[in-house]
Structure 1
Amino acid sequence: MARSRARDFEAKQRAILRAAAAVFAEAGMDKASMAQIATRADMSKALLYHYYPGKDALIFDIIRTHLTELDAAIAAAEDTKLPPRDRLRALVHAVLEQYRDADDYHMVQLNGTRALAADQRQVIVMLERGIVRRFSTVIRAIHPQIDHERPILTAVTMSLFGMMNWAYMWFRDGGPVTRTDYADIATDIFLGGFERLQ
């Protein structure tokens, strides 16, 4: 008879993912061990293995969870009734807010995807493409001719992601620039430079 799930299965799973992301971010994917993750999650190694069979499964679930929740936050912020520029600003705000307290998850996504099996990478790539597509759709609405003269929509979209994704390297909550401030700064820089492309 199959073992039934504990009532707190999802809460424990989330705690494991947080602990694992912290260990991976500190020690690196190769040096981190299941023993370190179990200690950080305050559980036995045997219980950890009940949830995840190994590091690869943890890395995959950290990235998959991070991207799924990011996509959901972007979808919730998307309002097609707004003018395209305001829609873009709302999406940038949603991403940077979702990144709050998610630096460890973000580092695992940036550094761990290459360690995944091909089928796992495919899942991650599809999630990433869906998120990028949400932004490129709005960017095209701002400038419908963007891909007609030169095929630069992807380059332009990924430039905006560069401003958002690498903020974790320097941005700290409580500093002189708030997360909301930076969302507006990034959007304004992007839109200002975007005008020059036109």
Structure 2
Amino acid sequence: MARTRAPDFEDRQRQILRAAAVLFAEHGYNETLLDDIAERCGTKKSSLYHYYPSKDAILHELIAWKISDLTAKVEAAVEPMASPRARLDALATTLVEEYIRTPQEITVLLTQTRHLSVVALRDTAAIQNRIIDLVVGLLSELRPELTIPRRKSTVVAMLFFGMTNWIHVWYKPAGSIGPAELASMIVNVFLDGFVNQPASLLG
């Protein structure tokens, strides 16, 4: 007979993932042991196996969970907005707020994917592509007079993400610029460059 899951099973999984995120971000994946994760969770290593079969599984679930959560929040923020500019504003604001709120999880997402298996990489990339595709679609709406090849629109989208991906490393929440203002600055700088690019460069 299969073992019945405890009512707090998913909560305990999230606790493990958050503990692992802190350790992976601070020490790296290879340097972190299951014993370290268990100690941070206040439990024994043997208890972790009830939730995840291995450290590899924890990393995969952590990255997949973070990408899925981020994607869902971005899509929810963007969906009610009427114009492409408003949608890009909402997207940038959501990214900035989430990156500042969960810096360790974002650090793992940006630096530790190289430790995933080929299958895990493919699975997580499929989720991540939803956000990339969203920005690529917005680029087409912002320059409707152009037919931008996918390879170039993807490059431009990645330039946008390059402005947001590392803010959690240097941004100080206690400083004079709030997250919403920072997001607006990112969009303004990005759009002023993108909308003024000559068609010959984008076509």
Q: TM-score range by the shorter chain?
A: over 0.9
Count of residues in Structure 1 that have an aligned counterpart in Structure 2: 198
C-alpha contact (below 8 Å) 2:19/2:37 kept by paired residues: yes
SS at match of 1:100: helix
C-alpha contact (below 8 Å) 1:38/1:48 kept by paired residues: yes
Aligned to 1:38: 38
Q: CA RMSD in A?
A: 1.7
Give the alignment of 1:119-198 within 5 angstroms: 119-148=119-148, 152-198=152-198
Aligned to 2:3: 3
Aligned to 1:51: 51
TM-score normalised per structure 2: 0.91
Alignment partners' CA distance in 2, 1:101 and 1:80: 23
Q: 1:130 to 1:13 in 2, by over 3 A?
A: same
TM-score normalised per structure 1: 0.94
C-alpha contact (below 8 Å) 2:92/2:183 kept by paired residues: yes
Percent of residue pairs identical:
35
C-alpha contact (below 8 Å) 1:147/1:153 kept by paired residues: no
Aligned to 2:201: none
1:29-50 residue CA offsets vs partner (Å, 9 max, x unmatched):
1100000111111111111121
Alignment partners' CA distance in 2, 1:121 and 1:20: 18
Q: 1:161 to 1:99 in 2, by over 3 A?
A: same
* AA at the equivalent of 1:12: R
- 1:61 offset after TM fit, Å? 0.7
C-alpha contact (below 8 Å) 2:89/2:183 kept by paired residues: yes
Q: Which runs of 4+ in 1 moved over 6 A?
A: none
1:1-43 residue CA offsets vs partner (Å, 9 max, x unmatched):
1111111111111111110000111111110000011111111
- 1:100 offset after TM fit, Å? 3.2
- 1:157 offset after TM fit, Å? 0.7
C-alpha contact (below 8 Å) 1:146/1:152 kept by paired residues: no
Alignment partners' CA distance in 2, 1:75 and 1:81: 10
SS at match of 2:195: helix
Aligned to 2:102: 102
C-alpha contact (below 8 Å) 1:73/1:98 kept by paired residues: no
C-alpha contact (below 8 Å) 1:84/1:138 kept by paired residues: yes
Gaps of 5+ in 1: none
Aligned to 1:93: 93
C-alpha contact (below 8 Å) 1:78/1:91 kept by paired residues: yes
- 1:172 offset after TM fit, Å? 2.2
* AA at the equivalent of 1:123: D
Q: 1:8 to 1:173 in 2, by over 3 A?
A: same
C-alpha contact (below 8 Å) 2:136/2:153 kept by paired residues: yes
